[in-house]
Amino acid sequence: MTDPFDGTKDPRESVVLTLDASLDLADGETLTGITKVDVTMASGTDPNAASVVANPIINGAPITAKGKTLAPGTAVQAEAVGGVSPAHYLIAITCTTSNPDKVLTLKGILPVSAN
């Protein structure tokens, strides 16, 4: 499980989350598609939790996250919007890969607080 966001998101903010799959991919493997996005509550209550993550995409160009350069096709970025305070959202994004025998679910916990 990764920490897709440095720090705590304020419910009034809109931020980009990055979920790094590079350590789970063999040399030459890439993410090829997003098949499912799940958002559940690790703590707190939000009946609209699924709407907190929007527009997930696989990186098509190199990106830098947490000081590490990620090659194209090795991460998912998504917009995090809204949310309730205080809460922790468990984000799980399932992806197909260039290896037909490998499907990855990238996970992270997004803390949200208005304080």
Domains of the chain with bracketed CATH: 14-112 (2.60.40)
Which pLDDT does position 74 carry in this prediction? 98
Cis upstream peptide for 86 (omega within 30°):
yes
Which pLDDT does position 72 carry in this prediction? 98
Per-residue confidence in pLDDT tens, the chain, 115 aa? 656 667 899 999 999 999 999 999 999 999 999 999 999 999 999 999 999 999 999 999 999 998 999 999 999 999 999 999 999 999 999 999 999 999 999 999 999 999 8
Distance CA 10, CA 8 (A): 6
Closest CA to 39 of 75, 74, 4: 4
The answer to whether 93 and 80 are in contact (CB under 8 A) is: no
Which pLDDT does position 4 carry in this prediction? 64
Query: Would you call 2 helix, strand, or coil by DSSP?
Result: strand
Which pLDDT does position 75 carry in this prediction? 98
Which pLDDT does position 33 carry in this prediction? 98
Q: Which two tokens stand for residue 114?
A: 């208005």
Which pLDDT does position 66 carry in this prediction? 87
Which pLDDT does position 3 carry in this prediction? 64
pTM, whole model, 2 decimals? 0.94
